[in-house]
Amino acid sequence: MRSGSSAVEVKGLGGGTVRFLPLFLLLPAVAFILVMYIYPFALSIVRSFTDESGGLSLVNYYKAVSLYGRDILFSIQVAILGTLISTVLSLALASYIRLSDSRMARLINSLSRLGIFLPYVVVAQMMRSFLAPHGLLNVLLANMGLVDIDSPLQLFNIRGLTFGFLWKETPFITFIVLSGLQVIDDTYIEAARSVGARTRHIILRILLPMIKPTIAIAVVLTFCTIVSTFTLPYMIVAGNPTTVTVDIAHRVTYFGDYRVASALGVFLYLIVGVMAVYYLRRTVREEVYGY
Amino acid sequence: MGTKWRRAVLEGALLCLLFFVIFGPISSLVIWSIAIRWYWPHVLPQEIGLAYWKQALGLQRDWAIAAVSIWGAFGTSMLVALVATALVMTMAIPAGYALARYRVPLKALILLLFLMPKAFPQQPIFVNLLPTFTRWGLAGTVQGVILIHILVCLIFGVWITTSAFKAIPQELEEAARSVGATRWRTFWKVLLPLAAPGLLVSTVFVFITSLTEFTGTFFIGLPFVTTLPMLLYSSSGYNMQFASVIAIVLLIPSLLFMVLIQRVFRPEYMGGIAG
Amino acid sequence: MPKVRLERVTKRYGKVTAVDCLDLTVHEGEILTLLGPSGCGKTTTLRCIAGFVVLDEGHIFLGEEEVTHLPPEKRDIGFVFQNYALWPHMTVYQNLSFGLQLRRIPKEEIRERVQEVLSMVRLSGMEDRYPRQLSGGQQQRVALARALALRPRVLLLDEPLSNLDAKLREEMRFEIRELQRQLGITAIYVTHDQAEALVLSDRIAVLNEGRLVQLGTPEEIYQRPANRFVAGFIGLSSFIEARVTEVEAEMAVLETEDGLHFRVPRDALVEGQAVTLAVRPEHVEVLGGPSGDLENAFQAEVVRAAYLGDSVDCRLRLGKWELRTQLLPGKIPAPGEVLWIYLPPEKLILIPG
């Protein structure tokens, strides 16, 4: 990856006044993030450990676990399920598109990109109408005789939610993975074929291992997105169990309870924790040191 | 020949499946937006028409149809998105330039600042800003919503802008410096025109992100600031047709962005959006 | 015995015919070079043999077996790429053993064979390195070893040395040649570098615009180029166009438009025939002084002289023609100076037309 190295060479160009120029250029953005992100971030952690009288306490965590313990597990479950399935689908789809040069493959490629930039609020509305008990999916299945007219599929639960996430995230991972695969020179594939590798060997032993870092980033970002998304579960999951993000909204809008909401927020941080830290370390290292 | 046929059949099946999975939900929206009456379990609506579209676009006013004009919400959304995008790019272009071209002190720390909002959930941030915003009189105001949108969009702006600048070979600037152009002139006359497509991608992406932002507006703006996504949300509970109309309106810019990005896209920009 | 046989191989890309009805036979144990300028179809031909490119017409045989419709992974070939194409996520050992594993060869034997090829390319002990930890020359040798580890029926090399610096390139030429001879493997080598082709090959096939122009040993190609293209592409040549005016018992006399006369061996020349004379720089002899009675001796004017260290590259005007020659370094002639030169009849290359 091209990165830090080019910036290092510039140093010779500038004199004394230039030394503070980059900081000056970065100041507005950095200041904004500090005030609007880091401050409330810290606040959310502090608030989660504070009781009604302002003292240090674990009461919020106790409440969060006893009231929403099941939802915390539900969030984790959806995130793992969604990430796993969308990753597998994406790897297969991207490998297929990379290795095939048929017109169908090109069509599939443009088709798969369609949903990448659709906002979650639109996806959520789409899923509401598509997956509803009397929605288009059930209409079609009922007319094909696959579903009983009197008891259509109930999908406003983990199944529908996962489907919604898959719908949105699979194109995203496919896009990232495919950009990685397309950078790989054809000769690496030809070299494998010349020593006797068949398609499955090429995919599993050459192509995917070569872009492991790209795949890791895509997986991490997808996991974090699924855990963080509020819109989709809020609009399509009916009743319980639901995700932590929905619980946070309930806590705030119905009870005005920012402390338990913050404790739930910290649970969200913990769920994405390992992955997020991996992502941060990797990206910073790449940008700063170039590897 | 046998394998060729089998391959074509498999590809065809895959194509059909994808087609159904992708267009199923989209066509569901489209059908609902023109359905006047649609009874279970019929495949198609019994009565179709553009009544909800007309009502939503303010072309007619019929009290029997539960839809309001979307122009008010559209105006709010445009105002918020335009102001937020302008402010975001004013901060992001200098920041992106600095990150792409200079050796920045404390670089790792600054990068961390710009990465954290991407990695960690932002919802707790909105929740914890709400009491502060209330105290400052920003909750439920357009200004407050603009601030939140800047927060959501700024990191995308910074990262895509950085990639856009990095994609331009530095030698081109050095050549300009070598023939006597100042740093300032070089930036305006060489780098900026060359990086324009990348900056366009960045600006449009920021604009669309703001236009379709939901979560931040939900916490900070409701119930007084109604952007299009908020209107979509509040109508989706009781009126499938009207909600579908708004969803289609919101879907169009994202599809147009996809077209734009096919035209001027460089793989480097994806680094800004994704990794 | 033919090892690789191409019959009327044709490949088109849109309206461009990259390889045009090519017939070619490569013998067991020889190294044959496909030589030509870029775009002549040499790499496409090689990729057809490997199976990376599907032919539009024609047949390819490896030994007795027709492989025209076989995918590359079933052709049992070894291919060395210009950019080496070593898989960056695998160590040297993994790169070399990958193909062997796919063939379900027992672990012990894989280890032995990897060691064997590594020592052949003098890289023993480098098993655990990753490609990025190796120099260009080392990567090149690993690529070669990877192709050899499978003991393929034929070794295909696509400009394998063009990414190396000049000095290393010269060394590797001999190394590849030596290895190929030791193993007795049949090899097809693609290059645009005539010096490389001359050093390496048992035979050279010169291609131009998708067609085979000449096939022969390096000596044949250099000394008896079949046409002006080959004469100009392999070694330097100056060209003089003339017509046969007299045919004697052993010699013939040629005359140019501007009245220069050359005596050349008769060969199969017929009176009135148009002929192009190709003159190699090393065959132009500079005489000490005037020599009026000698045949094929001329006065030529120096147009330009460039000092090259070990020689002087000199352009001469002879009538309306330009001749290039190489002089020993010493006194560098000034432009406008007149030299006496002699062109030995037996060294002149005659190209019909």
* Pairing state between β C251-255 and C238-247: antiparallel
CB contact under 8 A, B247 and A122: yes
Which residues on C lie below 8 Å from A204 (Cβ)? none
Which residues on C lie below 8 Å from A185 (Cβ)? 83, 85
> Residue C23: pLDDT band by 50, 70, 90 thresholds?
very high
> Residue A12: pLDDT band by 50, 70, 90 thresholds?
very low
Predicted pLDDT of residue C101: 93
Which residues on A lie below 8 Å from C51 (Cβ)? 193
- How far, in Å, CA of C22 to CA of A154, rounded? 66
The neighbour count for residue A127, using CB atoms within 10 Å, is: 27
CB contact under 8 A, B14 and A108: yes
pTM for the full predicted model? 0.87
What per-residue string of b and e applies to C9-46 under the rule 16 or more CB within 10 Å gives b?
A: bbbeeeeebbbbebebbbeeebbbbbbbeeebbbbbbb
Flag whether pLDDT at A92 surpasses 50: yes
Each residue's pLDDT tens digit, A252-269: 999 989 999 999 999 999
Cis peptide before B223 (omega within 30 of 0): yes
Flag whether pLDDT at A7 surpasses 50: no
Q: Look-up: residue for tokens 């309001």?
A: B68
Interface A:B, ≥3 CB–CB pairs < 8 Å: yes
- How far, in Å, CA of A229 to CA of C129, rounded? 44
Average pLDDT over residues B114-138: 93
Percent of residues, chain C, with pLDDT higher than 70:
99
Q: Which of B111, B139, B125, B163 is nearest to B267 (CA)?
A: B163
Which residues on A lie below 8 Å from C146 (Cβ)? 191, 195
Residue A200 class from Cβ within 10 Å (0-12 exposed, 13-18 middle, 19+ buried)? exposed
What type of residue sits at position A137? L
> By the 8 A CB rule, do C157 and C146 touch?
no
Closest chain C residue to A190 measured between Cα atoms? Answer: C52
Each as own residue / partner, the long-range contacts of residues B175-181 (CB below 8 Å, 24 or more positions apart, any chain) are: B177/A13
Query: Which of A185, A190, A209 lies closest to C89 in CB terms?
Result: A209
Alpha carbon of A211: minimum distance to chain C alpha carbons (Å): 9
> By the 8 A CB rule, do B271 and B115 touch?
no
Query: Which of A188, A195, A209 lies closest to C102 in CB terms?
Result: A195
Please calculate the CA angle A225-A231-A232 and round it to the nearest 5 degrees.
Answer: 80
- How far, in Å, CA of C291 to CA of C293, rounded? 6
CB contact under 8 A, C89 and A210: yes
- How far, in Å, CA of C348 to CA of B76, rounded? 88
* Chains with ≥3 CB–CB distances under 8 Å to C: A
> By the 8 A CB rule, do C179 and C200 touch?
no
Domain boundaries, chain A: 1-48, 68-289
Q: Look-up: residue for tokens 């909204």?
A: A249
* Chains with ≥3 CB–CB distances under 8 Å to B: A
Which residues on C lie below 8 Å from A192 (Cβ)? 87, 98
CB contact under 8 A, A192 and C98: yes
Classified by CATH at the fold level, domain A68-289 comes out as MetI-like fold (1.10.3720)
Interface test with B, best of A1, A9, A33 (most B CBs within 10 A): A33
Flag whether pLDDT at A46 surpasses 90: yes
Closest chain A residue to B177 measured between Cα atoms? Answer: A13
Predicted pLDDT of residue C272: 87
3 state SS of B212: coil
A268 in contact with B, Cβ within 8 Å: yes
Residue B224 class from Cβ within 10 Å (0-12 exposed, 13-18 middle, 19+ buried)? exposed
Alpha carbon of C283: minimum distance to chain A alpha carbons (Å): 44
Each residue's pLDDT tens digit, C233-265: 988 889 999 999 988 888 889 999 888 888 888
Query: Which of C81, C86, C103 lies closest to A196 in CB terms?
Result: C103
Closest chain C residue to A200 measured between Cα atoms? Answer: C102
> By the 8 A CB rule, do B221 and B227 touch?
yes
Each residue's pLDDT tens digit, B29-82: 999 999 888 888 888 888 888 888 988 888 888 777 777 888 999 999 999 999
What type of residue sits at position B59? L
Q: Which two tokens mark B58?
A: 């303010």
Interface test with A, best of B128, B133, B210, B242 (most A CBs within 10 A): B128
Q: Which of C44, C21, C350 is nearest to C190 (CA)?
A: C44
Average pLDDT over residues A166-195: 93
Interface size A-B, in CB pairs within 8 Å, comes to 305
Question: Over chain C, what is the mean pLDDT?
Answer: 91
Predicted pLDDT of residue A11: 41
- How far, in Å, CA of A83 to CA of A224, rounded? 9
| DSSP letters spanning B13-53 | HHHHHHHHHHHHHHHHHHHHHHEEE--TT-SS-SEE-SHHH
C-alpha distances (whole Å) from C132 to each of A69, A153, B209, C251, C350 are 49, 55, 40, 62, 51
3 state SS of B269: helix
| DSSP letters spanning C40-97 | SSHHHHHHHHHTSS--SEEEEEETTEE-TTS-GGGS-EEEE-TT----TTS-HHHHHH
Average pLDDT over residues C312-316: 91
Predicted pLDDT of residue C292: 64
C74 in contact with A, Cβ within 8 Å: yes
What type of residue sits at position C341? I
3 state SS of A213: helix
Determine the angle formed by the axes of helices B240-264 and A120-131, rounding to 10 degrees. Answer: 130
Reported ipTM: the value is 0.90
3 state SS of A129: helix
